[in-house]
């Protein structure tokens, strides 16, 4: 028989419920009492583990960054055989975190700068692993590349409703179709947009 995973601790259940509810309803509109009920614990236990709502939100930031880091590092280490369909199938587990990021970016947070710094710093690490495994081309400006790509990805989350309207891609709803976004994104990342000639041809004189 297959072994069952150990049951989540109360602390883990609180964190999971907070990421989900903060992402769905926003931090201001979500009380610790509601989070406690969703986690099956008392409000006093939430306060015991995280102190305040701001402390819980900071823990959510750390949890989201850590989970993204682990998932990306594992995927990048798989090398050129990395299966896009497998990545798409695994995205449903990440939807609460994507909703959380989208909400934090729109509502703002005193920890937003630190959250973005962590995402960029982690991206530099797992992209270096991807270079070693042959997935990603080396670049003369690793940090500049990852700042642009990270902000591109986060901007897509903020504009997820327009993405759904224009392409039919659903990034945030459970079971939503990601392929209408992933196909063109993958083409841009692998094939690029401009031809080599476009990069070497001097611009025409407007006069």
The phi and psi torsions of 173 (rounded to 5 degrees) equal -80, 140
Model pTM above 0.85: no
Per-domain boundaries in the chain: 60-191
pLDDT at 43: 95
pLDDT digits (tens, 9 = 90+) for 144-196: 999 999 999 899 999 999 999 999 999 888 888 888 988 888 888 888 888 88
pLDDT at 203: 62
pLDDT at 139: 93
Q: Which range among 10-14, 65-69, 197-201 has the greatest average pLDDT?
A: 10-14
Residue 40: helix, strand or coil by DSSP?
Answer: coil
Compute the radius of gyration of the chain from its Cα atoms: 20
Using the CB atoms, write b or e for 30-69: b if 16+ within 10 Å. bebeebbebbebeeebbeebbeebeebbbbbbebbbeebb
pLDDT digits (tens, 9 = 90+) for 104-133: 999 988 889 999 999 999 889 888 888 888
pLDDT at 1: 37
| Per CATH, domain 60-191 is 1.10.730.10 | no
Quote the crossing angle between the two packed helices 160-167 and 142-158, to the nearest 10°: 80
């Amino acid at each position: 028989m297959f072994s069952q995973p150990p049951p989540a601790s109360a602390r883990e259940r609180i964190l999971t419920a907070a990421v989900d509810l903060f992402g769905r309803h926003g931090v201001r509109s979500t009380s610790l009492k509601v989070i406690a009920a969703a986690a099956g614990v008392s409000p006093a236990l939430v306060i015991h583990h995280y102190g305040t709502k701001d402390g819980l939100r900071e823990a959510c930031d750390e949890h989201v960054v850590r989970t993204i880091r682990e998932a990306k590092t594992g995927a990048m280490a798989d090398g050129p055989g990395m299966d896009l369909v497998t990545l798409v199938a695994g995205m449903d587990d990440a939807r609460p975190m994507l909703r959380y990021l989208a909400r934090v970016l729109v509502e703002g947070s005193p920890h937003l700068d630190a959250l973005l710094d962590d995402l960029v710093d982690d991206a530099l690490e797992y992209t270096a692993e991807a270079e070693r495994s042959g997935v990603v081309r080396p670049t003369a400006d690793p940090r500049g590349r990852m700042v642009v790509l990270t902000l591109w990805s986060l901007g897509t989350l903020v504009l997820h409703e327009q993405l759904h309207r224009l392409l039919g891609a659903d990034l945030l709803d459970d079971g939503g179709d990601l392929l209408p976004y992933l196909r063109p994104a993958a083409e841009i990342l692998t094939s690029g947009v401009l031809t080599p000639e476009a990069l070497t041809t001097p611009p025409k004189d407007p006069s």
